[in-house]
């Protein structure tokens, strides 16, 4: 069998992706699909870390519109990521794959505290590790949390699941003729303001020479094809 392109990955999923066709919350069918996609690469021996956003439940950045302070809003958003993480963990384990949920905020009855050496040990033992509660601090997005965790666990790549086929020069859902990039540099992402990830996340990846692959998570088999080295999505690198 051809060697896998990536052996240890950090998969970043948005909270909004869990909504499916709903306007809010978690769609069980989407959750089930994501679990199957993750398990498909886990069976090949890929070590998998996962970070999920919380925007399907609560978005801290929009909290000020409701009269909620930024710090409190971000803390509420962190808790929303834990809800999504628990849901994904449950779905993965129902299918017979072991996983661990590690939280940046101490909540011993729900999740293990995030300890780097323990996280790496779980990965080495073949457990899917889900990192909840962002970085544990306000003012940092889950994109930044994903970049930070990926650097810490020495992942080969951050794989960002979206609902489009990669990075485009415009929004392909609004402009069908938008041009897709097969590869693009960190600097061009920032210069063109393409909003792949926020500035802090991109800068962290650039500083640590950590590639990002942006791909369509909604297409069955796409994640598996990407891991095998097929031309899927857009690679962001030097």
Q: How open is the CA angle 120-9-87, to the nearest 5 degrees?
A: 80
Please report the pLDDT score of residue 78 as a whole number.
95
In the chain, what are the domains?
8-237 (3.40.1160.10)
Whether residue 56 contacts residue 84, with contact meaning beta carbons closer than 8 Å, is answered with yes
25: left (phi over 0), alpha (psi -120 to 50) or beta: left
Q: What is the mean pLDDT of residues 189-204?
A: 92
Q: What is the pLDDT of residues 5-31, one digit of tens each?
A: 999 999 999 999 999 888 889 999 999
Q: What is the mean pLDDT of residues 50-61?
A: 86
Report d(CA 182, CA 21) in Å as an integer: 29
Q: The tokens 């509420």 sit on which residue?
A: 76
- For residues 62 and 225, which has the higher predicted lDDT (pLDDT)? 225
CA separation for the pair 209, 229 (Å, rounded): 19
| pLDDT per residue as tens digits for the range 143-175 | 999 999 999 999 999 999 999 999 999 889 899
pTM score, two decimals? 0.94
**DSSP-based three-state secondary structure for 234:** strand
């Amino acid at each position: 069998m051809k060697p896998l392109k990536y052996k240890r990955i950090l998969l970043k999923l948005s909270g909004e992706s869990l909504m499916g066709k709903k306007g809010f919350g978690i769609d069980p069918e989407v959750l089930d699909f994501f679990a199957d996609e993750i398990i498909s690469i886990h069976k090949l021996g890929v070590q998998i870390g996962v970070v999920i956003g919380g925007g399907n439940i609560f978005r801290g950045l929009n909290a000020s519109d409701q009269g909620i302070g930024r710090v409190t809003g971000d803390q509420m958003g962190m808790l929303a990521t834990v809800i999504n993480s628990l849901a994904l963990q449950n779905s993965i384990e129902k299918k017979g794959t072991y996983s661990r949920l590690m939280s940046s905020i101490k909540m011993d009855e729900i999740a293990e505290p995030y300890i780097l050496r323990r996280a790496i040990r779980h990965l080495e033992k073949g457990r899917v590790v889900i990192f909840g509660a962002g970085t544990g601090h306000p003012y940092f997005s889950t994109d930044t949390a994903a970049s930070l965790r990926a650097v810490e666990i020495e992942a080969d790549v951050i794989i960002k699941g979206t609902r489009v086929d990669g990075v485009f020069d415009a929004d392909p859902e609004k402009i069908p003729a938008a041009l897709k990039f097969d590869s693009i540099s960190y600097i061009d992402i920032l210069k063109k303001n393409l909003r792949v990830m926020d500035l802090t996340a991109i800068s962290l990846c650039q500083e640590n020479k950590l590639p990002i692959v942006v791909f369509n998570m909604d297409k069955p088999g796409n994640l598996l094809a990407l891991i095998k080295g097929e031309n899927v999505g857009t690679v962001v690198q030097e």
